[in-house]
């Protein structure tokens, strides 16, 4: 899928506005992070049960 730089920027900004990712600018480069997912990976304790919403796999449908 090929899109122009402006189109990609527009859609990324929409995703940022929804709170799904955060943008970090380093020099001239923008990096986009899903901080909630990163936090889940870093703070997950396999011996501790938490009430995290489960997401159905599209493969199970």
Tell me whether residue 50 is in a domain. Answer: no
Give the mean model confidence (pLDDT) for residues 46-55. Answer: 61
pLDDT digits (tens, 9 = 90+) for 5-20: 999 999 999 999 999 9
Examine residue 1 and state whether it is found in any structural domain, yes or no.
yes
55 domain residue, yes or no: no
pLDDT for 32 equals 94
Give me the residues paired with residue 31 across strands: 24
Domain assignment of residue 60, yes or no: no
pLDDT given at position 44: 77
How many domains does the chain divide into?
1
Secondary structure letter of residue 20 according to DSSP: S
Count of helices and strands (H, E) across the chain: 2, 2
If residue 15 lies in a helix (H) or strand (E), which one and from where to where? helix 5-18
Is 13 contained in some domain?
Answer: yes
Is position 33 within any domain?
yes
Q: Residue 12 falls within a domain, yes or no?
A: yes
Arithmetic mean of pLDDT over the chain: 83
Half-sphere exposure of 60 (CA within 13 A, CB side): 3
Q: Which domain holds residue 38?
A: 1-43
Rounded Cα distance between 61 and 47, Å, is 29
């Amino acid at each position: 899928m090929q899109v122009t730089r402006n189109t990609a920027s527009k859609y990324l900004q929409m995703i940022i506005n929804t709170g799904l990712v955060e943008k970090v600018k380093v020099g001239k480069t923008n990096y986009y992070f899903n901080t909630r997912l990163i936090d889940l990976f870093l703070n997950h304790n396999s011996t501790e049960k938490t009430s995290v919403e489960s997401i159905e796999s599209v493969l199970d449908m």
